[in-house]
Structure 1
Amino acid sequence: MATPGKTTRSRAVLRVGLIVLFVIAQAAGRPGFGLSGRGLAVASLTLAVAVTVAAGVLPVDREGTPRRVVLGIPVKILSLCLAAVASVVLIEVADASSPAIAALLFVVGAAAVRHPPRHSVPVAVVALVGLLVGGAASGDMAQDLSLCLSVCSAYLIMHTIALRRATRKAEAREAVLAERARIAREIHDILAHSLSAQIVHLEGARLLLRADRAGEALERVDRARELAKNGLEEARRAVAALREDLPPLPVALRALAGEFGTATGRECAVEVSGPERRLPPETELAIVRTAQEAITNVRRHAPGSPALVRLGFRDGACELEVVNPASEVPGTPGGGYGLVGMRERAELLGGTLEAGESDGGFRVRLRVPA
């Protein structure tokens, strides 16, 4: 992959090559260079165009240093304006030679693609005014009007290219920011859910040990260990999602169901309907995280109850449903912030999440476009 420094040097070499090619072409044309009269004028104007174009397009400013300005106008813009004037005069002196016309169009195009309109428009205006004045002085307005049309076309084409480049850069920047936000959200979910709970249990264990209640303290440590283990699994899932190598949804859901059965001794069935297919990584991760949160809530708020996970692949959508019957044993009260986070995650994907009592139990239903 080319580094920015190498790319800049390559572009500079290309521009120098174009300038040298212009000088050679103008010298080989008619009238060519000379030591007196018209030949001397052509040589002087060609040198002036080459120098001003070089000053306007070559990267003479060092990175990190402010751009040089004169009377509030960047030096490069002044150089391109002078290059436009010299090119127009060269066109008149050299009888509209092709190298001189190409130089004028290059100057206007370079200004349009490299600078904002407030700086590039004056360069185009200088070129147009110079052509009109030259045409009026020579009495051949038809040729100069044709050149004016070419200048306008060159400016519009290069300005459009500049707008497209700016749009692509903005889209790339937005994509990077969105990816950073997604990574931050994953890290937050892992830390907030796992580490905060571990701190609570470890603090409780510390207090119990001070009170010589070793048995209860050991139970707290075991809970903290389980939370740390679950947090590590969540971190692995997040890394897998960021690397886009998550296992298929049915496999991931059956793994969660297996963890539920191991921890509670209760059944957690997984039913899959519809033609199975892979979904975008962020969509699959949202479905897995919603199932994980819902199953965790069954363990927390309905201890002793089994759970049922349904995954349905529909046309243009994917549905997840986690249901459980009511428990005869009171569960741990909670504020439901996990489901709030899952609802926000679903809305970011353009989906919906519903959670509430259903048929004497509890149901969480997620639907996302896919």
Structure 2
Amino acid sequence: MTTGRQTTISPIALRGGLIVLFVVGQAATPPGFGLSGDGLAVTGLTLAVAAALVSAILLPAREAGSPGPVFLGIPLKIAALCLSAIASIALIETTDAGGPAIAALLFTVGAAAARHPLSRSSPVGIVALAGLLLAGAAGGDMQRDLSLCFSVCVAFLITYSIAQRRATRKAEAREAVLAERARIAREIHDILAHSLSAQIVHLEGARLLLRADRTQDALERVERARELAKNGLEEARRAVSALREDLPPLPVALRALADEFRTATGRDCAVLVSGAERRLPPETELAMIRTAQEAITNVRRHAPGSPASVRLGFHDGACELEVSNPAAEAPGTPGGGYGLVGMRERAELLGGTLDAGETDDGFRVRLRVPA
């Protein structure tokens, strides 16, 4: 019975397997292992390469002064890689066919480039190139050793470039995590800071009114604070939901806000969308949804009995949101909510603009962001 689990080979097991494969391959390559002559030299050099690779690749390392068990410091690991390169070159010159030894040399250079910065890995490459040139000059087969020098350079450069790309991706991932944390902190701050500060004002006013025996006025202040707390809790829940789940498309989210407005007020809230609809970056969509939510909530609070109108326009390189309402006959509730200051700050962070103010027949909030 299959459980759906995927089995993976650990990097240590893979590297250890490659070292074992090198030893087995070298033993099968003429003249092979022996106790005298070339066989003894091949045996000693093979074990030297294997031991150096085990020390440099498999054993844990630590920087000087850092906590943890002491195995090999970084300088000793670089020295072990240099020893592996020298022993591999000696094997190439000793054996008739240097296949496993050549693979060990390229593996050594690649491991140095992949595991260490350029200042530490370059000595291994230099030792390998110098050893090949000296061996070619001494053995008279300069053409083969020059081709090996080229292979060493290619292996070093390719492995180093791959390591740099991985480091860049990790750095970008860390930056993305930090940016996401900042966005979440700003989102929660915008909701709670404004809501709680307004509640404190009303509760402080209620306390003073109670001391003056103005019970009815104090009760009105408490009810306003309660309404602010309720609205702040709803907004916080929406924010957490938006941060944990994928945001719906902008038109869908705006129509949902319009439906809530109609249900709560019994007044119309038209949603008009123009231009070719497309998805925007999550932070941009969230800012536009929050702006529409605040603007529609302000219509309910400050213009009771007034209908609302929402317009969303997709333009080349920009997206524009406009929420407007005619003037109301009855006065609304002062204060409350995020306030337009937070929306303006959010727009500026995205490189956009937010304009809000009275018009000839009512009030309008307009947000324009690059997209």
Query: Under TM normalisation by the shorter chain, which class is it?
Result: 0.7 to 0.9
Check if 1:319 corresponds to 2:320.
yes
What amino acid is aligned across from residue 16 of structure 2 in structure 1? V
Give the match's secondary structure for 2:146: helix
- Quote how far apart the aligned CAs of 1:31 are: 1.0
What amino acid is aligned across from residue 45 of structure 1 in structure 2? L
What's the CA shift string for 1:86-144, capped at 9, x where partnerless?
11112112245111111000000000111100011110000000111111111211111
Check if 1:115 corresponds to 2:128.
no
Check if 1:235 corresponds to 2:226.
no
Closer, same or farther in 2 for the Cα pair 1:19/1:220, shift >3 Å?
same
Distance between the aligned counterparts of 2:244 and 2:78, measured in 1?
46
Distance between the aligned counterparts of 1:152 and 1:248, measured in 2?
51
Conservation of the 8 A alpha-carbon contact between 1:205 and 1:218: yes
- In structure 2, the partner of 1:151 is 152
Closer, same or farther in 2 for the Cα pair 1:67/1:306, shift >3 Å?
farther
Conservation of the 8 A alpha-carbon contact between 1:26 and 1:100: yes
Conservation of the 8 A alpha-carbon contact between 1:92 and 1:134: yes
- In structure 2, the partner of 1:10 is 10
Identity of aligned residues (%): 75
Conservation of the 8 A alpha-carbon contact between 1:68 and 1:75: no
What amino acid is aligned across from residue 56 of structure 1 in structure 2? A
Closer, same or farther in 2 for the Cα pair 1:150/1:77, shift >3 Å?
same
- In structure 1, the partner of 2:270 is 270
- In structure 1, the partner of 2:68 is 65
What amino acid is aligned across from residue 169 of structure 1 in structure 2? K
What amino acid is aligned across from residue 19 of structure 1 in structure 2? I
What amino acid is aligned across from residue 225 of structure 2 in structure 1? A
Distance between the aligned counterparts of 1:337 and 1:245, measured in 2?
23
Check if 1:77 corresponds to 2:64.
no
What amino acid is aligned across from residue 215 of structure 2 in structure 1? A
Check if 1:203 corresponds to 2:212.
no
- In structure 2, the partner of 1:289 is 290
Unaligned runs of 5+ in 1: none
Closer, same or farther in 2 for the Cα pair 1:261/1:29, shift >3 Å?
closer
- In structure 1, the partner of 2:56 is 56
- Quote how far apart the aligned CAs of 1:12 are: 0.9
Distance between the aligned counterparts of 1:74 and 1:210, measured in 2?
76
Structure 1 residues 91-106: aligned runs within 5 Å: 91-95=92-96, 97-106=98-107
Distance between the aligned counterparts of 2:173 and 2:223, measured in 1?
46
Give the match's secondary structure for 1:74: helix
Give the match's secondary structure for 2:35: coil
Distance between the aligned counterparts of 1:262 and 1:151, measured in 2?
73
Closer, same or farther in 2 for the Cα pair 1:50/1:347, shift >3 Å?
same
Closer, same or farther in 2 for the Cα pair 1:191/1:123, shift >3 Å?
same
* TM-score normalized with structure 1 length: 0.85
Closer, same or farther in 2 for the Cα pair 1:169/1:248, shift >3 Å?
closer
Structure 1 residues 20-59: aligned runs within 5 Å: 20-59=20-59
Closer, same or farther in 2 for the Cα pair 1:206/1:254, shift >3 Å?
farther
Distance between the aligned counterparts of 1:128 and 1:278, measured in 2?
54
What amino acid is aligned across from residue 52 of structure 2 in structure 1? T
Conservation of the 8 A alpha-carbon contact between 1:67 and 1:74: no
Distance between the aligned counterparts of 1:289 and 1:317, measured in 2?
18
Conservation of the 8 A alpha-carbon contact between 1:241 and 1:282: no
Unaligned runs of 5+ in 2: none
- Quote how far apart the aligned CAs of 1:313 are: 4.1
Give the match's secondary structure for 1:34: coil
Distance between the aligned counterparts of 1:217 and 1:248, measured in 2?
43
Between 1 and 2, higher relative CO (CA 8 Å, sep ≥ 6) is seen in 2
Closer, same or farther in 2 for the Cα pair 1:124/1:226, shift >3 Å?
same
Closer, same or farther in 2 for the Cα pair 1:219/1:256, shift >3 Å?
farther
Q: Which moved more, 1:21-30 or 1:231-240?
A: 231-240
Distance between the aligned counterparts of 1:361 and 1:350, measured in 2?
27
Distance between the aligned counterparts of 1:185 and 1:357, measured in 2?
28
Q: Which moved more, 1:207-216 or 1:112-121?
A: 207-216
Distance between the aligned counterparts of 2:115 and 2:370, measured in 1?
41
What's the CA shift string for 1:144-164, capped at 9, x where partnerless?
111100100100110111111
What amino acid is aligned across from residue 137 of structure 2 in structure 1? A
* TM-score normalized with structure 2 length: 0.85
- In structure 2, the partner of 1:309 is 310
Distance between the aligned counterparts of 1:303 and 1:56, measured in 2?
75
Closer, same or farther in 2 for the Cα pair 1:34/1:158, shift >3 Å?
same
Give the match's secondary structure for 1:320: strand
- Quote how far apart the aligned CAs of 1:350 are: 4.5
What amino acid is aligned across from residue 76 of structure 1 in structure 2? K
What amino acid is aligned across from residue 285 of structure 2 in structure 1? E
- Quote how far apart the aligned CAs of 1:179 are: 1.2
RMSD over aligned Cα atoms: 3.3
Closer, same or farther in 2 for the Cα pair 1:114/1:172, shift >3 Å?
same
Conservation of the 8 A alpha-carbon contact between 1:303 and 1:331: yes
Closer, same or farther in 2 for the Cα pair 1:39/1:255, shift >3 Å?
closer
